[in-house]
A and B are shown apart, each in its own frame.
Chain A
């Protein structure tokens, strides 16, 4: 079993839809939870970061962590075609450095 499971998609939604992206994990020691966004032919870039459980909001993006269920989510409100990208969840037991485990990534298409 992989430490981090993420549905690769692809996920296709109309512009303006609410998008929900999810990951499950098995290592209860994970405390740092990240979402990276990767556009085609580019490297990933950090989108959201959450420490331990709870919610974090940044504009149209909300990250949720449920440690009791070992489940994290990224919500995108009012999705735009520019949100079309691959979204990778990532998590770490320490301060995120050497042993960050990445999910496989979910490919998202937002249609105009």
Chain B
């Protein structure tokens, strides 16, 4: 059974703190993604990675950074958390089939982050 796990389901942090969100997948997928999900806005892509140590900015990368040191692990870092980063954060992964990125993404359960 495919599995994407996220380190925390709920997290409360203070403004200015450095926050680490961890994601691990056990499917040997090449591609990993970080989204945030807000009411009325849907899922918005923050960063993605198509290989170890490779990363690309998504649509809303400001205030975030990522790290992918191992194929199965993709971390999202909030360098200095702000209240407007209060959101649901979803990690996802997908495979490459015959050199093409699969349309199907597998999601983790999400981390609800509150910044006070």
Contacts and interface: CB of A to CB of B under 8 A. Distances in A.
Chain B, interface size category, equals: 20 to 34
Chain A, interface size category, equals: 20 to 34
Main secondary structure of the interface of A (DSSP, over half): loop
Given A98-B50, A98-B56, A34 B103 contact: yes
Interface in A54-108: 88, 92, 94-100, 102-105
A105 B103 CA distance: 18
Interface of A: 4, 6, 8, 32, 34, 41-46, 49, 88, 92, 94-100, 102-105
Interface of B: 4, 9, 31, 35, 39-45, 48, 50, 56, 90, 92, 94, 100-110
7 contacts: A43-B90, A43-B110, A44-B43, A46-B104, A97-B103, A98-B48, A98-B56
